Amino acid sequence: MKRLVGILIFFAVFQIGIADGNNIVPTPQKIEKRNGAFTILTTTKITHYPELRSSAEYLAEYLPLEIREYNENSNGNIVLVVNKKLADEEYHLTVDSQAIKIEGSTPAGVHNAIESLLQMLPDAVYRHQLSFPTMVAGCHVEDKPRFAYRGFMLDVSRTWVTVDELKIFIANMAHHKLNKLHLHLTDDEGWRIEIKSHPELTEKGAFRGKDYPVAARYGKLQDNYGGYYTQEQMRDVVAYAAARNIEIIPEIDLPGHSTTLAHVHPEILCNYTPGLTSSVGYDTRNVVCAAKEDNYRMLNDILLEIADIFPSKYIHIGGDEVSTSQWSKCPDCKALMAKLGIDVSQLQDYFMARVAAMLEGMGKQVAVWNEAAASAKLTRKAMVYGWENVEACRKAAAAGYPTVVMPGVYFYFDMQQSSREPGHNWAAIFDARKVLSFDMAAHGFTEQEMTHVQGVQASFFSELYLPNREAEYDYLYYQTYPRICALCELAWRGNGGEWSQFYSRLVNSHYNRMVAMGIDFRLFPPTVSFADGKLTAKVNDRSSIYYKIVGQQGEYRYEGPISTDTPQRYSFFSRMGGAVSPEQGVQGRWRMLQPNVKITSSIAESEKYPYKNAEGYGRIAHTSKAASEGDWVMYTFEKPVTCRRLEIATGNLTLPRFVFDAGYMEVSYDGTNFKRVCDLEQGAGVIENPAKPIKAVRITCTQTGNGDNYVTVQPPKVYPKL
Ligand code: ACM
Ligand code: ZN
């Protein structure tokens, strides 16, 4: 038998090497190498203290070994032990030739140890394909998180995320030792959780489009779109997350962001008749009337069920971006303000205080976005999520609120990672490097303020997820990883440290792990240079480089420098598993022309944002109302333009909203005769390789109304011949 073990060890060392604890992400506080190694055999057992049964089962999902209760003969095994001397999420992990010993005072600490152990094993463990024997190098880890709150917010309202997709996202968060999932369950575009006392909220409000009261938006402009979680499904997700040390904090976004609620229950709105001319009959109001007692009764019904589904102490009730103009116009709200002797800026405090008291009666506390605590009137038991800027986070902490720090400029992972990549850009354009650089001390958080900071969180608002789902890569994962890697490092250590060191951990180990986890993350782009007639591309990771050539179909593997006299025709990118980088090229590759253009339309222009703004290629232009069938916008060039591609888009620059929901595009070479070239998709049309210089293009709308008050008119995008 001994000889057999010896042979097996020999086999393991020379065939598969010794797995070790190099480059664990997030970086443990203390890790020491020890002599020896532990060999996991098919006969190795996972043994556990009785209270750690579910931790053992979680480990066995990755290491399919027999599970037994711990006894004094547990040597030779992987042992899970309760050590009450350790703090809540703290753990010790010791690997020697006798055992792999995991110690924690709670399942949370033990979970963190298990995630570190998984990272010490060959990446195949994440594919559930680890083969035995596997040797693990001797080590001793003593580790605990700096922050108790290490979170991520996922918006499942704008884009519906199925139960299975949600579970995969949770599993991957757990591998990064994040422990809070803030689920943005309602917004203007969809209600995603079943409420048994108000089934209409999901029957009508979980979908949008032509058969539903909520307007089509974001990616699906012609069809009905949506989905929701039954309470049974959500309880299952809550349990799945809990088994991975993740608490789900639900958000019902109130009193603003409530278009869905308002279209299912118009009576919750303020008591006045809105002007509906500009929106072609669609009521865009989205604020719950603060004066109607029936509204509080309905919210009580809803929140009672939410409080029952989710065990978390906090229920997030939003409070962001509330347009008080609706309350100002409402006779009922005005009467209430007069009675209370308050102005409209204080009405949000009143609303929040009532909902907070309601939740307190249910044994819960409120969580809110920073605006709802700006006046500091809200109970200090409320947890505040600072999103608008760093100052808002500091202010909440200084006022004594338990504070989650998540300013958009560092932590909104729906933002673009560079200027040509998809995403929003209203907060900032940034990649993982900037996330890692977030430094609370440098931002002036005082020691006193830090006592109130619970931790950090990133978010993914999903207006662009659906329109980008058709992309070759998985937009959600492209936007969130490796930015989540940087987030978890920051949350675990309190400070991200040097980028170069962290990046080498990613490149040397963690990229491979993420490929095995099935995470289609974003790679950093290749560096491209051109000298002596040769085009060269380089990466500093282990990805493979590919290139495309303008005007040619397909992509080619890059094998070495390319001789060319038209370097601007090439773009390079890299791949590793499902991970992909953005394209990179020499200067001039993405150059655009800006020919003089005149914009005219059948719809009057907005006074504030006239069409000449877009003629100047700089700023935004609006129509004065939503488009009706037959409305058109025309772009006439002063001189006919020669180009390889011309795009006309309606809508926000990075978002298909305020668009022609349906329509077509025509081209004219003489300014008089027009020929149809394509249907609009997401409010945009494209002409590729036009036969002649283009004098004018026209887009025509074929669908009345779009649930918005206007259409955004963008400058034409004119790509030169290269
Ligand atoms: C938010 O981004 N409105 C919280
Ligand atoms: Zn009102």
Q: Give the model confidence (pLDDT) of 603-625 as tens digits.
A: 999 999 999 999 999 888 999 99
Ligand 2 is an ion; its neighbours by CB within 5 Å are 270, 289, 291, 330, 332-333
> Does residue 109 sit within a domain?
yes
Alpha-carbon gap, residue 526 to 537, rounded angstroms: 6
Cβ of 503 below 6 Å from ligand 1: no
pLDDT at 7 over 60: no
- Which 3-state string (H, E, C) describes 259-328? HHHHHHCHHHCCCCCCCCCCCCCCCCCCCCCCCCHHHHHHHHHHHHHHHHHCCCCEEEEECCCCCCHHHH
pTM for the predicted model, two decimal places: 0.96
Which ligand places an atom closest to the C-alpha of 344?
Answer: 2
274 & 339 share domain: yes
483 & 604 share domain: no
Is the bond preceding 26 in cis, omega lying within 30 degrees of 0? yes
Mean pLDDT of all residues in 300-318: 98
> Does residue 588 sit within a domain?
no
409 & 512 share domain: yes
Q: Rounded to the nearest whole angstrom, what is the distance from the C-alpha of residue 263 to the centroid of ligand 2?
A: 16
Contact status, residue 244 vs residue 178, Cβ threshold 8 Å: no
Contact status, residue 181 vs residue 154, Cβ threshold 8 Å: yes
* Res 473: pLDDT: 84
Which residue in 314, 293, 308 sits closest to 379, CA to CA? Answer: 314
Q: What is the pLDDT of residues 227-245, one digit of tens each?
A: 999 999 999 999 999 999 9
Q: What is the pLDDT of residues 105-124, one digit of tens each?
A: 999 999 999 999 999 999 99
State the angle between helix axes of 107-120 and 53-62 in degrees (0 to 180), rounded to the nearest 10. 20
250 & 136 share domain: no
How many separate domains does the chain show?
A: 4
Q: Which residue has the tokens 């480059």?
A: 23
Q: In one letter, which amino acid is 293?
A: E
Q: Which residue has the tokens 């976005």?
A: 369
Token couple for 451: 């006592």
Q: What is the pLDDT of residues 400-416, one digit of tens each?
A: 999 999 999 999 999 99
Cβ of 409 below 6 Å from ligand 1: no
81 & 166 share domain: no
Q: 3-state DSSP call for residue 666? A: strand
Atom 4 in ligand 1: which residue has the minimum CA distance?
Answer: 320
Cβ of 369 below 6 Å from ligand 1: yes
> Does residue 404 sit within a domain?
yes
Q: What are phi and psi of 213, to 5 degrees?
A: -70, -25
> Does residue 585 sit within a domain?
no
Q: Which of 492, 517, 542 is the last residue of a domain?
A: 517
For ligand 1, what atom is nearest to the CA of residue 387?
Answer: 4
Which ligand places an atom closest to the C-alpha of 387?
Answer: 1
Cβ of 320 below 6 Å from ligand 1: yes
- pLDDT-based confidence at 12, cuts 50/70/90? very low
Cβ of 321 below 6 Å from ligand 1: yes
Cα torsion angle, 503, 507, 508, 509, sign: positive
Q: Rounded to the nearest whole angstrom, what is the distance from the C-alpha of residue 343 to the centroid of ligand 2?
A: 13
Which ligand places an atom closest to the C-alpha of 392?
Answer: 1
Q: 3-state DSSP call for residue 28? A: coil
357 & 388 share domain: yes
Q: Rounded to the nearest whole angstrom, what is the distance from the C-alpha of residue 292 to the centroid of ligand 2?
A: 7
pLDDT at 263 over 60: yes
Cβ of 387 below 6 Å from ligand 1: yes
Token couple for 440: 């609370």
Atom 1 in ligand 1: which residue has the minimum CA distance?
Answer: 320
Those residues with Cβ within 8 angstroms of residue 287's Cβ, 6 or more apart along the chain or in another chain: 255, 256, 258, 269, 270, 322, 323, 324, 326, 327
> Does residue 260 sit within a domain?
yes
The β-bridge relationship of strands 190-191 and 207-208 is unpaired
10 & 154 share domain: no
For ligand 1, what atom is nearest to the CA of residue 385?
Answer: 4
> Residue 100 belongs to what H/E stretch?
strand 100-104
Mutation choice for ligand 1 from 251, 254, 387, CB with most ligand atoms inside 8 A:
387
* Res 74: pLDDT: 86
What percent of the chain has pLDDT above 90? 93
Q: Rounded to the nearest whole angstrom, what is the distance from the C-alpha of residue 288 to the centroid of ligand 2?
A: 7
For ligand 1, what atom is nearest to the CA of residue 408?
Answer: 2
Mutation choice for ligand 1 from 182, 320, 410, 424, CB with most ligand atoms inside 8 A:
320
153 & 138 share domain: no
Of 429-433, 470-474, 626-630, 674-678, the one with minimum mean pLDDT is: 470-474
> Does residue 587 sit within a domain?
no
Which residue in 422, 543, 432 sits closest to 482, CA to CA? Answer: 432
Q: In one letter, which amino acid is 395?
A: K
Q: What is the pLDDT of residues 630-684, one digit of tens each?
A: 999 999 999 999 999 999 999 998 888 999 999 999 999 999 999 999 999 999 9
Q: Which of 87, 118, 143 is the last residue of a domain?
A: 143
Contact status, residue 457 vs residue 483, Cβ threshold 8 Å: no
Q: Rounded to the nearest whole angstrom, what is the distance from the C-alpha of residue 320 to the centroid of ligand 1?
A: 6
Alpha-carbon gap, residue 246 to 244, rounded angstroms: 5
127 & 154 share domain: no
Q: What is the pLDDT of residues 502-556, one digit of tens each?
A: 999 999 999 999 999 999 999 999 999 999 999 999 999 999 999 999 989 999 9
* Res 18: pLDDT: 79
Which ligand places an atom closest to the C-alpha of 404?
Answer: 1
Q: In one letter, which amino acid is 39?
A: T
Q: Rounded to the nearest whole angstrom, what is the distance from the C-alpha of residue 227 to the centroid of ligand 1?
A: 22
Range of the domain at 559: 527-580
Of 367-371, 618-622, 714-718, the one with minimum mean pLDDT is: 618-622
Q: What is the pLDDT of residues 681-696, one digit of tens each?
A: 999 999 999 999 999 9
Dmax over Cα atoms in the chain, in whole Å?
A: 92
Q: 3-state DSSP call for residue 620? A: coil
Which residue in 456, 377, 395, 390 sits closest to 427, CA to CA? Answer: 390
> Residue 343 belongs to what H/E stretch?
none
> Does residue 591 sit within a domain?
no
166 & 128 share domain: no
pLDDT at 264 over 60: yes
Which ligand places an atom closest to the C-alpha of 372?
Answer: 1
> Does residue 637 sit within a domain?
yes
**Degrees, nearest 5: CA angle 581-585-591:** 120
Those residues with Cβ within 8 angstroms of residue 170's Cβ, 6 or more apart along the chain or in another chain: 181, 237, 240, 241, 244, 246
Which ligand places an atom closest to the C-alpha of 287?
Answer: 2
For ligand 1, what atom is nearest to the CA of residue 320?
Answer: 3
DSSP state of 475: H
* Res 9: pLDDT: 46
Of 157-171, 470-484, 567-581, the one with minimum mean pLDDT is: 470-484
Mean pLDDT of all residues in 242-268: 98
pLDDT at 10 over 70: no
- pLDDT-based confidence at 17, cuts 50/70/90? low
- Which 3-state string (H, E, C) describes 144-179? CCCCCEEEEEEECCCCCCCHHHHHHHHHHHHHCCCC
Q: Rounded to the nearest whole angstrom, what is the distance from the C-alpha of residue 601 to the centroid of ligand 1?
A: 34
Q: 3-state DSSP call for residue 530? A: strand
The CATH number of the domain where 273 resides is what?
3.20.20.80
Atom 3 in ligand 1: which residue has the minimum CA distance?
Answer: 320
Alpha-carbon gap, residue 81 to 554, rounded angstroms: 55
For ligand 1, what atom is nearest to the CA of residue 321?
Answer: 3
The CATH number of the domain where 635 resides is what?
2.60.120.260
Q: Which of 143, 165, 187 is the last residue of a domain?
A: 143
* Res 19: pLDDT: 77
Mean pLDDT of all residues in 246-270: 98
Q: What is the pLDDT of residues 57-66, one digit of tens each?
A: 999 999 999 9
Q: Rounded to the nearest whole angstrom, what is the distance from the C-alpha of residue 387 to the centroid of ligand 1?
A: 7
pLDDT at 156 over 50: yes
Cβ of 609 below 6 Å from ligand 1: no
Cβ of 385 below 6 Å from ligand 1: no
Mutation choice for ligand 1 from 286, 321, 413, CB with most ligand atoms inside 8 A:
321
Q: Rounded to the nearest whole angstrom, what is the distance from the C-alpha of residue 544 to the centroid of ligand 1?
A: 38
Q: What is the mean pLDDT of the chain?
A: 95
pLDDT at 472 over 50: yes
Between 618 and 36, where is the model more confident?
36
214 & 345 share domain: yes
* Res 21: pLDDT: 78
532 & 409 share domain: no
Q: What is the pLDDT of residues 84-107, one digit of tens each?
A: 999 999 999 999 999 999 999 999
Q: Rounded to the nearest whole angstrom, what is the distance from the C-alpha of residue 189 to the centroid of ligand 1?
A: 14
